Structure 1
Amino acid sequence: MKGDRTIRGLFVGLVTLDFVYLATCAPKSNQKIVASDYTVSAGGPATNAAATFSYLGNEANLLSVVGNHPITELVKADLATCNVELSDLAPTTNSLPPVSSVIITQGTGERAVVSINAMKTQVTSSDVATELLSRSDIVLIDGHQMAVGNAIAREAKIKNIPVVIDGGSWKQGFERILPNVDYAICSANFHPPNCNNSEQVFAYLSSFGISHIAITHGEQPIEYLSNRQIHTINVPNVKIIDTLGAGDIFHGAFCHFILFKSFADSLVEAAQIAADSCQAFGTRRWMDTKG
């Protein structure tokens, strides 16, 4: 709670429909395999982050492209179950939404993913963004709707609303958003131009005036920048069932904790939530086991 009201977060980016299978291995060329389990849910960095933020007791608003293709009813049903409010940037489009097929290797939790991102569903402006932002306490941008994300980041800066970026990978256009970012939470696969290691990534992001930067490394320690010094935080050691969406879940949890904890403490708490998610199959079942 912030005062006596619910905390509200705005999550801007990608929605996919994820078909996730649990199998002993990924198929080789011309091979058919039988999965031991499967699940279907809405996916995407901003989407999984929003679901986590909602699970932690907040109001999550997701700004993305979903449309009205028949298959999107599966996406909308999952978002409703997670109490995530959807604001569709293109509600009348009947195009097939981005779909991901994911195979989780039983025993290791490793994933193989085939997906379509938001390149075919880019929106250049949004009439609803200003209204959503006016009632938000924090914003997360995953870079999959770059034009809308850039506009929201600029306005959030003016309104002193903290902006978090999910730096899962470098995307062209991030350089326009970075001057308005308060927290850059990146993966080890985030490589801005001419950046080949963590030190270079920290230096690049710091050049935009971002003072709170962290880089996650899966089960390895998190690196973060504080007072111009690089520090590390160990992540929980757990039995891994499935790593799908763990980074997204980390971001959603971080958005929750950063509103009332320090940067370092928020990273610690988010790492625990992400570790909890790795102990269940899919991106939603961990919520049932924790609830």
Structure 2
Amino acid sequence: MVKSGLFIGMVTLDLVYLTAKLPGNNEKIAASDYTVSAGGPATNAAVTFAHLGNQVTLLSVVGIHPITQLIRSDVESGGVKIADLAPGNTQPPPVSSIIVTQATGERAVVSLNSSKIQVSREQLPSDILSGVEIVMIDGHQMGVSCAIAQLAKANNIPVVIDGGSWKPGFETVLPFVDYAVCSANFYPPGCNSQEAVFAYLQKIGIPHIAITQGEKPIQYLSLGLAGQLPVAQISAVDTLGAGDIFHGAFCHYILRHNFIEALRAATKIASHSCQFFGTRHWMRSADNGL
């Protein structure tokens, strides 16, 4: 059954290079492959959610700079509708330069965040939640995200956060969150361990919490029940965007399964994606990781 999602956050243009190693100081190296695509946590998650058979709107700042045509083409070809928070913005979008090391699949990223392109909740479309069945927030448009999270909570629409890292203002969103799916780098103020993170989020009242750790098991706390889920051990080609893909897949599965099963299924998709270069090529494989 087709579901409808709203994904809120950042859009970037990603220039990704595959190399044998990272360059040293004053060193120029040749890439063996490259790809150009739209990026950002909410963007990659939205494309994944659409790829799995759903309708999705990406709420972000895109604008009308010439570079944004590349972004729009990639996102819309993936079945994602863009709701632009600043349609008249003439500034260039954030551009990420990414080097993926061929032997390990690890990536190095130079990027800008969305701190210079924040918009206010007054710029929200009045009907933005019409027909929406799940909301995902990546933390890069905090004012808008807080307003939508409040509205979603009032309308019994589940809210998921991508807690890649702590961002100022997250504390205003968290009281309205149903599913906090965080990375091992997500540390709220005063937290310096996973135990502290779980305690912080549980105290706020979030019923379902998970912390991903790359190839290590996912730690979770669901309605007070703690546990862990193993992650398939693979030979990674590229880990870029794996967390974003995980979140998009999680949003797909949580509308159909319980928390643990949704985590397990999303892990399978994300692991599969790491066996391909770039954030889109896995979608063209025969099994799509399903």
TM norm structure 2: 0.97
Note the C-alpha offset of 1:236.
1.2
Counterpart amino acid of residue 52 in structure 1: T
Question: Who is 2:103 aligned against?
Answer: 107
Question: Who is 2:150 aligned against?
Answer: 154
Note the C-alpha offset of 1:230.
2.2
Of 177, 200, 212, the residue aligned with 1:181 is 177
Gaps of 5+ in 1: none
CA contact (8 A) 1:23 1:103 kept: yes
Within 5 A, what are the aligned runs for 1:41-60?
41-60=37-56
The answer to whether the aligner puts 1:198 opposite 2:194 as a matched pair is yes
Of 243, 252, 263, the residue aligned with 2:248 is 252
Within 5 A, what are the aligned runs for 1:29-48?
29-48=25-44
Alignment deviations for residues 175-196 of structure 1 (CA, whole Å, 9 cap, x no partner)? 0000100000000000001111
Alpha-carbon distance between aligned partners in 1 of 2:115 and 2:132, rounded to the nearest angstrom: 27
Of 131, 134, 151, the residue aligned with 1:135 is 131
Gaps of 5+ in 2: none
Alignment deviations for residues 12-33 of structure 1 (CA, whole Å, 9 cap, x no partner)? 0000000000000111111101
CA contact (8 A) 1:242 1:279 kept: yes
Question: Who is 2:164 aligned against?
Answer: 168
Counterpart amino acid of residue 205 in structure 1: L
Structure 1 126/11 Cα, relative in aligned 2: closer, same or farther at 3 Å? farther
CA contact (8 A) 1:8 1:60 kept: yes
Of 203, 213, 216, the residue aligned with 1:217 is 213
Counterpart amino acid of residue 105 in structure 1: T
CA contact (8 A) 1:89 1:126 kept: no
Of 16, 27, 44, the residue aligned with 1:20 is 16
Alpha-carbon distance between aligned partners in 1 of 2:179 and 2:118, rounded to the nearest angstrom: 24
Of 238, 243, 256, the residue aligned with 2:239 is 243
Note the C-alpha offset of 1:86.
0.4
Is the partner of 1:279 in helix, strand or coil?
coil
Alpha-carbon distance between aligned partners in 2 of 1:96 and 1:145, rounded to the nearest angstrom: 17
Alpha-carbon distance between aligned partners in 2 of 1:264 and 1:279, rounded to the nearest angstrom: 24
Note the C-alpha offset of 1:130.
3.8
Of 120, 123, 131, the residue aligned with 2:119 is 123
CA contact (8 A) 1:130 1:152 kept: no
Within 5 A, what are the aligned runs for 1:259-270?
259-270=255-266
CA contact (8 A) 1:129 1:152 kept: no
TM norm structure 1: 0.97
The alignment covers a number of residue pairs equal to 287
Note the C-alpha offset of 1:128.
4.4
Note the C-alpha offset of 1:125.
2.1
| Off by >3 Å, runs of 4+ in structure 1 | 126-130
Alignment deviations for residues 47-70 of structure 1 (CA, whole Å, 9 cap, x no partner)? 000000000000010000010000
Alpha-carbon distance between aligned partners in 2 of 1:162 and 1:42, rounded to the nearest angstrom: 26
Alignment deviations for residues 226-271 of structure 1 (CA, whole Å, 9 cap, x no partner)? 2424210001111100000000000000000001101000000000
Alpha-carbon distance between aligned partners in 2 of 1:181 and 1:10, rounded to the nearest angstrom: 14
Note the C-alpha offset of 1:126.
4.8
Note the C-alpha offset of 1:216.
0.1
Is the partner of 2:98 in helix, strand or coil?
strand
Alignment deviations for residues 58-108 of structure 1 (CA, whole Å, 9 cap, x no partner)? 001000001000011000000111011000000111101000000000010
CA contact (8 A) 1:153 1:177 kept: yes
Question: Who is 2:62 aligned against?
Answer: 66
